[in-house]
Structure 1
Amino acid sequence: MAAVMEMNPTAGKSNCSQEMQVDKKLIPRKVPSLGSTRYVIAFITHLCNFTLKAQGVIMNITMVAMVNSTDHWFQFNGSTEMLPVDSFDSQNNVSKSRPAEGSGLGGQCALWEKWGPPQERSRLCTIALSGLMLGVFIAILLGGVISQAFGWPFVFYIFGGIGCICCLLWCFLVYDDPTSHPWINITEKEYIISSLAQQVGSSKPSFPIKAMVRSLPVWSIFLCCFSNNWLINTLVAYMPTYISSVFNINIRDNGFLSALPFIVSWGIGLLGGQLADFLLTKNVRLVTVRKIATVLGNLPSAVLLVVLPYLNSTYITTMTFLTLSCGLIPLCQSGIYINALDIAPRHSSFLMGASRGFAQTAAILAPTVCGFLLSQDAEFGWRNVFLLLFAINLSGLTFYLIFGEADIQDWAKERKLTRL
């Protein structure tokens, strides 16, 4: 009896221990973010996006030197020199190299499918995507200065060198998933894997292309991304031109002031991800968070621009409107730009790449159409540009608000075969 009594408590403890271990596996433990592998990967992706966007903007800035002079020591008048208003054909040629940006951004989505816990996904993605706005800021701020001091080829040497460094960091520090990473902390690995266990299946997924084409939530992401990119590319290509044409200020001052809204945009983008995840911790529905972020990143920015030509604005008022308009755009990073991870986590890399590729057609169309409108109507050109921008932006946003979702779609769920 004594032997039995001594063994029973041990057996009970063993059973309790097993149950506690099961519970720990079912309920992921939060691990610190500072210095964690997933945030290191987000920072490296941030640098890659910085390089990706900066190189596209640099092409636009240096085109003036390349088409007007074969002299490598071509001198700019100031910090930046954007393409002239009437050269929309040249801007179209520059922009044709930019849809490849969609494939780079889409490939990153596969990372967050395996590395991004749902409760941290907004901030991880916005850390990565905010590198785009930082790239615009640095390229506009320093592109002309480097060209003036050393010649336009050095712009490509410097930013190309940064791109090579990013590639090395990516090759040595970024891995497909936590399981294959050699240096990740065990606690962090278990936290990420257990957080994603309910979303990502282990079997090889089928590719329901027909269901995707017929899916209204998918099309809502595509169209809203396109309308948002129309807004972004109009600001990037024509903000310096607008400031110069309205106020006739020195192009050197124009360059520095044109870069200012994008550093504000970079900071707001980082805060937007924190805000989105905070709302999720307060039990706000995921679809509500995505739509709030998308509205805040689209509607105020478009409204600020469309009212600008109707005001007798001072220089300070104009710069305030432009800075706010540009600064609020990255709030969409916590909305439409990561919505593919919500509705189809198993196919998110394809959907994000396809949506960004589709959206990047705005990089071709927006400068072309805007340049044409400005060249045809000197008096009301800017008013027409901003009205068209508002109409396109509002259309894409409305479609997303009606048809956008955040639940995993039926065609994206794992199919489990059963045998009778």
Structure 2
Amino acid sequence: MTDNNQTEEAPLLSASRGDPNIDVPKIPGCIATRHVFAIFAFFGFVNVYMMRVNLSVALVAMVEYTPNFNLTPTNHNDTCPPRGDTNSSDHSKSTAATYSWDEDTQNQILGAFYYGYILTQIPGGWLAGRFGGKWIFGLGILSTSILTLLTPLAAGAGVGWFITLRILEGIGEGVTFPAIYAMIAHWAPPLEHTKLINISTSGSMFGTIFAYPIAGVLCDSNFLEGWPSVFYLSGALGILWFIFWMLFIHDTPEKHPRISQEEREYIQKSKGSTKVTTLYVPLLAMLTSGPVWAIIICNFAYNWGGYTLITNLPNYLKNILMFDVSQSGFLSGLPYVFLFVVSVIGGFLADFLRKSGILSTNKTRKIFNSIGLILSGFGVVMVGYVGCDTVLAMLYLCLASVGQGLVQSGHSVNHLDIAPRYAGLLMGFSNSAGTAAGFLAPITVGVLTEDNNTIGQWQIVFWISFGFFMLGFIVFLLLGSGDVQYWALDDYVPTIVEDYETSTTQGVDDYSINPDMPSYFSKLRH
């Protein structure tokens, strides 16, 4: 649903006809202010994902579990043999309580976060677009940090309290991605969208890299009784980050007191205006847009595979490949090293290809997205067919993560290409779909592995993820776009005209007014 006057190779167009191709000026100082913003956002997402994934490792230590050593992997359908003293929990220094939660209960706890997370995606995007993302992003992380500190107390109070707390944490974190997309729409010149988005959001991968091994070590220690220390550490770091975020970050370049005049003018001239100046949002046009649905469907598909790994990988490594909790923590973080590195490098490469004119934005997004999802699907499926060869299993998991890193320069940043002024709201829509995958995937894993936690059942889990990866690849290839959509242009947005008697209607497509409509609606300019 792109403008008929645009072609695939048309010059990049911002929401209010800015010039993205102007030369980048020399910025005074050591680092550009927009890059400082991206670094602070990076560390914000480090905290977001530490608080999100630490439970995946800690849960292994929180639950009373006795591995079944009687099964052998003769047909790749059983669990692997023990690796020395696998039942390391007998020798753990942790003194914290453990709980008798079955597989179904554990997956309900892991999925509960996403019940809350889905509720604030769209409101968070709209609020950030309307009023600015600084406070929305900051308060989202602060509230989750405080709740994370209360995790040991909630777990001890009972499963119901624990699940409720995880839902509330999800509500707090649900605003984070939409808010940062809304802020980047103000801070990033069009030809730096991929780079700044990937620097900012790659904190999620780095947080995962950091959280998995540190959580494994803390769970196996006697520091603050063991597994509770995981939540105390991540909660405290989140509160500390919030203080610095509020002191140094501002919603837009126009509001920043320390940005240089050269950088402010460069950002303003390259992107034009992305400010939403009216309460009106072209929802009908958005929700009937093929490129919007390409992002939404692809995000659901991509997140199904991603959340299957991020929530269940420590479980697979401990209960199938038979690593202890501290080993599984380190190994769980390894694939995210590749995801982090490829995501950042991919962002720079994608923007270079666009800025140099080698590829259009449309081709860049589709190439990165397609290669990434194909690699992810292949890597995930192969994990289930290497038996107990842990080296091969980790290699294929890392290959899948390389693919996921490439996808970060595909559909994941496409919101800013097709509708920069509504990037936060569109992220709310697409991340709502991705969040649905976040709680459906763990439930599916729980159903398939409950009382039958074997390699054969995990092969089914991995094939389901493969199917979703391929769905995302096909849909985005067919429906995706790299062009600003007509409904996201500045002169399409209707505004209330105060002088009803002399007002006229204007617009990119010269829409007509229905004479039967009430007079005040007739004064809307399309």
Q: TM-score by structure 1 length?
A: 0.84
- In the aligned structure 1, how far is the partner of 2:42 from the partner of 2:192? 16
Displacement of 1:68 in angstroms is 5.5
Query: Alignment partner of 1:97: what SS?
Result: helix
Query: Alignment partner of 2:477: what SS?
Result: helix
Displacement of 1:60 in angstroms is 2.9
Choose from 189, 194, 208 the match for 1:117. 189
Change (3 A) 1:86 1:350: same
Choose from 52, 66, 91 the match for 2:107. 91
- Is the 8 Å Cα contact of residues 299 and 394 (structure 1) preserved in structure 2? yes
- Is the 8 Å Cα contact of residues 54 and 136 (structure 1) preserved in structure 2? yes
Identical positions, percent: 30
Q: Does 1:321 align with 2:337?
A: no
Choose from 134, 153, 159 the match for 2:206. 134
- Is the 8 Å Cα contact of residues 294 and 336 (structure 1) preserved in structure 2? yes
Displacement of 1:78 in angstroms is 9.2
Query: What one-letter code is carried by the residue in structure 2 that aligns with 1:321?
Result: Y
1:388 corresponds in structure 2 to 464
Query: Alignment partner of 2:423: what SS?
Result: helix
- In the aligned structure 1, how far is the partner of 2:415 from the partner of 2:296? 10
Query: Alignment partner of 2:210: what SS?
Result: helix
2:222 corresponds in structure 1 to 149
Choose from 206, 219, 222 the match for 2:293. 219
Q: Does 1:304 align with 2:376?
A: no
Change (3 A) 1:25 1:293: closer
- In the aligned structure 1, how far is the partner of 2:287 from the partner of 2:49? 29
1:264 corresponds in structure 2 to 338
Displacement of 1:242 in angstroms is 2.9
Displacement of 1:419 in angstroms is 4.1
- Is the 8 Å Cα contact of residues 178 and 424 (structure 2) preserved in structure 1? yes
- In the aligned structure 2, how far is the partner of 1:209 from the partner of 1:95? 29
Displacement of 1:203 in angstroms is 4.1
Choose from 216, 241, 246 the match for 1:171. 246
The CA RMSD over aligned residues, in Å, is 3.0
- Is the 8 Å Cα contact of residues 123 and 277 (structure 1) preserved in structure 2? yes
Change (3 A) 1:138 1:78: farther
The 5 A counterparts of 1:228-377 are 228-283=302-357, 284-311=359-386, 314-375=389-450
Displacement of 1:30 in angstroms is 3.2
Change (3 A) 1:370 1:406: same
| Stretch moving more, 132-141 or 59-68 | 59-68
- In the aligned structure 2, how far is the partner of 1:371 from the partner of 1:202? 43
- In the aligned structure 2, how far is the partner of 1:26 from the partner of 1:380? 53
- Is the 8 Å Cα contact of residues 309 and 382 (structure 1) preserved in structure 2? yes
Displacement of 1:307 in angstroms is 2.8
- Is the 8 Å Cα contact of residues 318 and 324 (structure 2) preserved in structure 1? yes
Query: Alignment partner of 1:200: what SS?
Result: coil
Displacement of 1:299 in angstroms is 1.3
Query: What one-letter code is carried by the residue in structure 1 that aligns with 2:432?
Result: G
- Is the 8 Å Cα contact of residues 343 and 406 (structure 1) preserved in structure 2? yes
- In the aligned structure 2, how far is the partner of 1:26 from the partner of 1:320? 41
Change (3 A) 1:172 1:29: same
Q: Deviations over 1:161-199 (max 9, x none)?
A: 1111221122111111111100001111111111111x6
Unaligned runs of 5+ in 1: 1-23
Query: What one-letter code is carried by the residue in structure 2 that aligns with 1:95?
Result: G
- In the aligned structure 2, how far is the partner of 1:346 from the partner of 1:202? 7
| Stretch moving more, 275-284 or 409-418 | 409-418
- Is the 8 Å Cα contact of residues 201 and 414 (structure 1) preserved in structure 2? no
Query: What one-letter code is carried by the residue in structure 1 that aligns with 2:434?
Result: A
- In the aligned structure 2, how far is the partner of 1:25 from the partner of 1:405? 18
| Higher helix residue share | 1
- In the aligned structure 1, how far is the partner of 2:50 from the partner of 2:326? 19
Change (3 A) 1:379 1:132: closer
1:413 corresponds in structure 2 to 489
| Stretch moving more, 31-40 or 213-222 | 31-40
- Is the 8 Å Cα contact of residues 213 and 329 (structure 2) preserved in structure 1? yes
Q: Deviations over 1:79-99 (max 9, x none)?
A: 9xxx99961332222322242
1:19 corresponds in structure 2 to none
Displacement of 1:76 in angstroms is 8.2
Query: Alignment partner of 2:375: what SS?
Result: helix
Query: Alignment partner of 1:334: what SS?
Result: coil
Displacement of 1:328 in angstroms is 2.8
Query: What one-letter code is carried by the residue in structure 1 that aligns with 2:373?
Result: N
Q: TM-score by structure 2 length?
A: 0.68
Choose from 55, 58, 66 the match for 1:62. 58
- Is the 8 Å Cα contact of residues 86 and 374 (structure 1) preserved in structure 2? no
Change (3 A) 1:394 1:209: same
Query: What one-letter code is carried by the residue in structure 2 that aligns with 1:59?
Result: L
- In the aligned structure 1, how far is the partner of 2:62 from the partner of 2:267? 48
Choose from 176, 188, 192 the match for 1:104. 176
Query: What one-letter code is carried by the residue in structure 1 that aligns with 2:203?
Result: G
Change (3 A) 1:62 1:182: same
Q: Does 1:30 align with 2:102?
A: no
1:206 corresponds in structure 2 to 280
Displacement of 1:54 in angstroms is 0.9
- In the aligned structure 2, how far is the partner of 1:391 from the partner of 1:166? 39
1:181 corresponds in structure 2 to 256
